[in-house]
Amino acid sequence: MSITVFINGFGRIGRTVLRQLLSTHAHLGVTIAGINDIESLESCAYLFKYDSVFGPYPGTVEVVAGGLRIDGHVIPVHRERDISTLDLSGVDVVMECTGLCGERQWAERGIAAGARNVLVSGPSDAADVTVVMGANDADMGSARIVSNASCTTNALAPLMRILMDEPGVVSAHMTTVHCYTGSQPMVDAPRGDPARSRAGAVSMVPTTTSASSLVTQVLPALKGKITGAAVRVPAISVSAIDVVVRLERALEGDAGAVIAGLVSDHPVIGTTLEPLVSVDMRARPESLVIALPETMTAGPNQVRIFGWYDNEWGFSARMIEMSCVMAARGA
């Protein structure tokens, strides 16, 4: 199947999506109709070519009139603040990666420009539905504006969906140990949350996470059963979830082996038996990689599960896969 996408917003996710479309997901044959970002072509080219997390792009990146030539192929680049002014007819999915899609009017701009669908790279009340692959794929239906939730929700929801089915969930608490992001200052500077006003690269910062509320949107049966918190840590990439779950039925046998069996062959969850650290998980495509040696029980009905996720690379992989699913639904 051939699909055409348009990337609106060329920040961390927009650039990571493009890297994957040109490398690990090149076999999908996705056509990139264009990119839109208010930054200069030179800035877009530089930040795509030289990446502090994933390293230099291995191919060629050049600025040409009206776009970027990457590996010999020209991708048009626009600098519009409102993409509804563009002609996006023929585009199957606008990948809305600006991080600004909080209002319905903004979300509908891609549709107004002629695109068939819009996929938002983050939580958005403006979306028709929030979908996490491996958790509630069937809920997409015919929705034209879909939220891909958050990176942490993509890590948590598929795991909770499995545990809900077997052995059943009574209650749960999740803590995400999350790398710092662009929402935090490099030096102390005012933010709404006093703790988040502190320099992100030098302290562990307790804060909140949207994942605990988003996961109940994705899996309504968890409403009132799960809480969540976050600690931002001085790492530039890769995060983790630490989940303690009270189960309806006891796990029989070794907890790590049981969990490994439950997630075996899952399309977006992986496992590891090795004593890995966060840097080893960089550019892993899974939504979650469970560290099986960290799995433990306290009594027969409580289990602790720890898993890694590359909050940029894995999330971007789901954006691409979700776009393919949306495009495959037909006109």
pLDDT in tens, 279-298: 999 999 999 999 999 999 98
For residue 98, what pLDDT is reported?
97
Q: What is the mean pLDDT of residues 4-25?
A: 97
Query: Is it the case that residue 330 has pLDDT exceeding 70?
Result: no
Quote the CA–CA distance of 224 and 129 in Å, as a whole number.
20
Percent of the chain with pLDDT over 70: 99
Q: How confident is the model at residue 329 (pLDDT cuts 50, 70, 90)?
A: confident
Q: What is the mean pLDDT of residues 159-175?
A: 97
For 240-276, write each residue's pLDDT tens digit: 999 999 999 999 899 999 999 999 999 999 999 999 9
pLDDT (0 to 100) of residue 11:
97
Per-residue pLDDT band for 300 (boundaries 50, 70, 90) equals confident
pLDDT digits (tens, 9 = 90+) for 99-123: 999 889 999 999 999 999 999 999 9
Please identify which residue in the block is written with the tokens 């990139």.
32
Average pLDDT over residues 15-26: 96
Percentage with pLDDT > 90 across the chain: 95
Average pLDDT, whole number, for the chain? 96
What residue ranges define each of the domains in the chain, with the CATH number in brackets?
4-127 (3.40.50.720), 151-311 (3.30.360.10)
Predicted local distance difference test score (pLDDT) of residue 151: 98
Q: Choosing from 44, 97, 151, 179, which is the catalytic residue?
A: 151
Whether 328 shows a pLDDT value over 60: the answer reads yes
* Residue 331 predicted with pLDDT over 70: no
**Mean local confidence (pLDDT), 198-215:** 96
Measure the CA–CA gap between 258 and 251, rounded to whole angstroms: 7
What is the per-residue pLDDT for 2?
87
Greater confidence (101 vs 47) lies with 47
CB contact at 8 A, 122 and 35: no
Task: Answer whether 292's CB lies under 8 Å from 271's CB.
Answer: yes
- pLDDT of 230 higher than 70: yes
pLDDT for 27 equals 92
Catalytic residue status for 151:
yes
